Structure 1
Amino acid sequence: MPRSGSRASRRPPYTVGAALLLLLTGCAAAGTAPGPGGAAPGPAAVRTGAHAPTGAAGPGAAAARGPAAPTAPREIRMLGQTVRSAIPAESRQALVVTGNSPDSSEATAVLYTRDDPAVGWQPAAGPWPAHNALYGWTDEHRVNDLRTPIGVYGLTAAGGLLEAPGTELPYVQSPAFTVSGEGFDGESLEGAFDYVIAIDYNRVPGASPLDPTRPLGEERGGGIWLHVDHGGPTQGCISLPAERMEELLRILDPAKLPVIVMGDGAALAR
C-alpha cells in the first residue's frame, strides 16, 4: 500500500516487454470494504418447544389482511441509484471492486450474479483482496495519472502469457504478455500478466486486450485490465490473486454480459 508522503519518490516505471510497451498506455505502460452488500440476513433462530404467544392470530387472519406485497428484486446495497442505473439491464454478472478510499490503492472485489430478475443480485464469489492504482481513483482518467477510472465497464475479452484456464471469454495467449521489472513497492512484476481480462475503458469491446485502439483518444489512457496481483499498487489496473483470476475466468460468461463496477466506496454510493 502506498506510504503517505513518499509516493512521488516511489514511481519507478514498470519495465514491460517491448511488444506490449508499444501497444499499451494503461496499467503496464502508463498509468476493507464492506462484505457482500446483497447478502440476505441469516435465518431466524428456531425456538424449539415454544408455543404460539397468547392472542396469536389464527390462519384466517392472513386471508383477511389480503395477499402480501410483492418483494422487490434485491439490489447490490453499497451501490447508489446512479451507479445501479449504469449497469445494463441485460447484465447478469457484476464484479464490484470497492476501493478503501479515494486515494487508496487497496480494494475488495465481490462477484454478484442476477440469474433470476425477480430475485435480483446475489453474491456469488468473494470477497477477494485487490489492488488498484497507486494514487487511487478518478472520474476522468488521463494517461500517466496513476489513478484507476471509476465507472461501470464491460468485460468482453481476456488473454495472458499462460494457456486459458478454461473460460468462455475470447482468450488470446501471447508472449506479448511478458512483463518484468519492479512495482512501486519494489515487488517483482513477473507473472502479473499470466492472466488478464480487458476492462472496456477506452477500448473496442470484444477486441484483444493487446488492441491499441483508443476511441476516446490517447490522452485518456487505456490498457486498463484485471490481472494477477503482484503485491503492490498498479498503474491503473485492478489486480487479484492468481487463483482468483483463474476462478473469475472460469465463471465469467459472455452470454451474461458481465461488467465490472469499480471505484472508491463514496463514488459507488452515488
Structure 2
Amino acid sequence: MDSVRRMTVAVTAFGTLLATLSGCGAGASRPARAGGAEAPRGQVARSPTVPTAPATDPTRIPGVGDRLYRQIARGSGQVLAVYGEGENSPDSTAVLFMREGPEWRPVARWPAHNGRNGWTADHHEGDERSPVGVFGLSDAGGVLDDPGTRLPYDQDANAFAPPNDWDEAHQHDFDYVIAIDYNRLPGKPPDDGARPEGNDRGGGIWLHLDHGDGTSACVSVPKDAMEFLLRTLDPARHPVMVMGDRGQLRA
C-alpha cells in the first residue's frame, strides 16, 4: 500500500511539470551531416531527477493521448517521452518512464532540444522539424567507447565525427548517439544510410548530445542523460520514444 501511495504522489507531481515545461531559444541553421544526422551546441550537464507534478492515471504515460498511446507495444517496458514546448519551438523536456506492473513510473527528467523549427506529423528532408510519433530505440553508437549499454553499439570515431566546418560548440554532438527508428532499418548502425520510405521523408534522426539550441530534426539531451539512457535502456524491454509538441501528443 505504501508503494502505491508513493507512485500516486510521483505521478501526481509529474502532471504539474507538464503544465510548466520551458526551455532555451532556437539556434541558427546548421548543415546536415553526411548520412543524415544533423547539427546542433554545448551541453549543460544535469543529474537525472525524478519528475515532480496533476493527478492522472498511473497506467498511462502522462500527456499522451489515445492515438499515440495505442502505438506503444504492449511488451514495451521503457518509454522515453519528449514533451515539446510548442509546435514551432525547439525546446522540450525528456522524461524516462519505466513500467512496474500495470503502472508507469517516471524515473528521470532532463532538458532537451528538438528541431529548430519545432515539430511536424509529416516530416520531410530539410524542414528542420522533428517528427511526431512513437519510434523504437534499437541501436546506438558514437565517437566514444561503449559506456556499458545493452543496445548494439557501434564505436567509430571517424564515422561519427562531426564535419570539420562545424564550430567548436558542435564538436561533441555525436560522442554518443541512439538511433530513433524513423525511416531506417532497425538492427543497423545509426549511420546506416538506408531510408525505406525514401529520401524525401528524411532520416538519420538521432538522440544525441545537446549543444544548447535546436537541431535539424534530432532530439538532444545533456551528456549525463545520454550516459544514463545508454546504461538503462534494455532491448529486452523494447524501449520506445514518444515525441512531439504537447498539443499533438495529447491529440
Task: Give me the TM-score of the superposition, normalised by structure 2.
Answer: 0.80
CA drift of 1:36 comes to: 4.5
Matching residue of 1:265: 246
For the Cα contact (< 8 Å) 1:38–1:123, is it kept in 2?
Answer: no
From 127, 132, 154, the equivalent of 2:114 is 132
SS in structure 2 of the partner of residue 210 of structure 1: coil
From 77, 87, 105, the equivalent of 1:122 is 105
1:149-182 residue CA offsets vs partner (Å, 9 max, x unmatched):
0000000000000001100000000021001467
Matching residue of 1:52: none
Matching residue of 2:189: 208
Pair member with larger Rg: 1
CA distance in 2, matches of 1:163, 1:98: 29
Q: Displaced runs of 4+ in structure 1, greater than 4 A?
A: 35-41, 180-183
For the Cα contact (< 8 Å) 1:137–1:149, is it kept in 2?
Answer: yes
From 233, 238, 245, the equivalent of 2:226 is 245
Matching residue of 2:169: 188
CA RMSD of aligned residues (A): 2.4
CA distance in 2, matches of 1:168, 1:147: 29
CA distance in 1, matches of 2:88, 2:70: 25
SS in structure 2 of the partner of residue 188 of structure 1: helix
CA drift of 1:27 comes to: 2.4
Task: Kindly indicate whether residue 136 of structure 2 is the aligned counterpart of residue 154 of structure 1.
Answer: yes
Matching residue of 2:31: 13
Structure 2 unaligned runs (5+)?
A: 1-23, 41-49
CA distance in 2, matches of 1:205, 1:103: 29
**How does 1:79-90 map onto structure 2 within 5 Å?**
79-90=64-75
For the Cα contact (< 8 Å) 2:31–2:39, is it kept in 1?
Answer: no
Matching residue of 2:21: none
Amino acid at match of 1:246: E
Matching residue of 1:77: 62
CA drift of 1:231 comes to: 1.4
CA distance in 2, matches of 1:87, 1:211: 25
CA drift of 1:86 comes to: 1.0
For the Cα contact (< 8 Å) 2:118–2:129, is it kept in 1?
Answer: yes
Structure 1 unaligned runs (5+)?
A: 30-34, 42-71
1:105-148 residue CA offsets vs partner (Å, 9 max, x unmatched):
0100000011313xx1111211x000101100000110011000
CA distance in 2, matches of 1:241, 1:83: 26
For the Cα contact (< 8 Å) 2:123–2:131, is it kept in 1?
Answer: yes
Task: Kindly indicate whether residue 213 of structure 2 is the aligned counterpart of residue 232 of structure 1.
Answer: yes
CA drift of 1:76 comes to: 1.5
Instruction: Determine what percentage of the aligned residue pairs are the same residue.
Output: 47
Matching residue of 2:180: 199
Q: 1:181 to 1:241 in 2, by over 3 A?
A: farther
Task: Give me the TM-score of the superposition, normalised by structure 1.
Answer: 0.75
SS in structure 1 of the partner of residue 159 of structure 2: helix
SS in structure 1 of the partner of residue 230 of structure 2: helix
Matching residue of 2:81: 96
